[in-house]
Structure 1
Amino acid sequence: MSMTQRKDQPDVTREQLLRAAADLILAQGLQAVTLDAIARRAGVSKGDLQQHFQTKPILLDALFDDATQRFAGAVAAEMAKDPDANGRGTRAYLRVTVAAPADDGEAHVMRSLIGLMLFDSEVRELWSSIWDESREAQLSPQELESPELTLCRLAIDGLWMSDLLEQRTVSGPMRAGVILRIEALTRKAPGVPAGLRHDGSRVPEE
């Protein structure tokens, strides 16, 4: 694609740059993501890149937003395939995170960005509310108020953190068994009746 064509298609160039950044994370890790490296991989000049993303933090913010939207889309797609409404959002969250194949590129990029958020306090302050809102937006009030399903999501987060840190304390068969157990629990978890909180108290009427 020529430079003229790129200027006529700014969205294509932006997507191209974000894809190049994600590919770099997959191939070399987050530390390899520099503006120069992204420009080379995307086949554009650094000046062209900086028309979209002036600094690395701005680019990473955009990449996180893009990855979060893709993640939300994947969760929504899993929910649409699940006929069982009870625990549906939590099961979809399970399948898109820890149950994703090891070679799932999108999941790997998301893990890398979440890792950056966890270990960089400045980034965490910027991204944590976006991440929390994205996850919770697809959960029903009943799921959010269910202690059993909250326990399942905390277990999912724990497994995901184990993957992120590349811990080997859980064997492959054990990990697979835990995932199956979590999914089974999401189907057995009772919903919270409308008008009640998880502690049994009533929600005040507006």
Structure 2
Amino acid sequence: MTDAHRRKKNPELVRMQLIESARKLALENGLGSVGVDAVATDAGVTKGGLFHHFPNKQALIDAVFQHMLDEFDADLNARMTADPDPYGRFTRAYVLSVFEVGADAQWGPLWMATLTDPQLRQMWGAWFNAQLAVYGEYDLQLENARFAADGIWLGHMFGVAPHNAESFQHHLIKMTRLPA
């Protein structure tokens, strides 16, 4: 009898194993390394088991990205919860996350995939626009800070950092506050 027949059925656990395996492979070797066979093998699941949860590779990639987006959202929410100043709270959390988490190995390569994958770009844009609608942070100063933070993130992806990152972060955070 194989392990598959003895193992207790836990579809959500298997689904998360597949997502984490795909994420790990993408982080180690790029998005192109996320093949169905490689992910199934890494997760200890049959290809049929993978296809039970994800009808194709794109659905798996989308699930990995959605999982990362959920983690990013949780990080921003934790930062906003700890921030007593309502004005610019979302933008401050976003800027701080970019500087503190940045393009690190945890998220970087998959975020980079948003530049080339139309589906991931659409998911990111829809999520981001929904956040702006919720928090109403359309002020030009806040937009400037967010777009500058995006430039920092992209620069990190290519190994380019501001000359004085701490001063730049301080400047962007200052932009998220109402003038005294």
TM band (smaller chain):
0.7 to 0.9
Please say if 1:91 is aligned against 2:92: yes
Identity in percent: 32
5+ long unaligned stretches in structure 1 = 191-206
Is the aligned partner of 1:170 residue 2:167? no
* Preserved CA contact (<8 Å) 1:20 1:41: yes
What secondary structure does 1:83 align onto? coil
d(CA) in 2 for partners of 1:5, 1:185? 58
The amino acid that maps onto 1:168 is: V
Question: Are 2:179 and 1:186 aligned?
Answer: no
Paired residues in the alignment total 177
Higher RCO (CA < 8 A, seq sep 6+): 2
1:13 positional shift: 0.4
* Unaligned 5+ runs, structure 2: none
1:48-87 aligned within 5 A:
48-87=49-88
CA–CA distance in structure 2, aligned partners of residues 36 and 177 of structure 1: 46
* CA offsets 1:106-153 (integer angstroms, 9 cap, x no match): xx2xx323322212xxx32x2334312322333422x12x01001101
* CA displacement at 1:67 relative to structure 2: 1.4
Contact 1:6–1:13 (Cα < 8 Å) also in 2: no
For residues 5 and 11 of structure 1, the distance between their equivalents in structure 2, rounded to whole angstroms, comes to 17
What is the TM-score of this pair, normalised by structure 2?
A: 0.85
Counterpart check, 1:112 vs 2:109: yes
CA–CA separation in structure 1 for the residues paired with 2:86 and 2:130: 16
Distance 1:87 1:152, change over 3 A: same
Aligned twin of 2:150 = 157
TM-score by length of 1: 0.76
Mapped partners of 1:5, 1:82: distance in 2: 49
- How far is the alpha carbon of 1:45 from its aligned partner? 1.6
How far does residue 167 in structure 1 lie from its aligned partner after superposition?
3.5
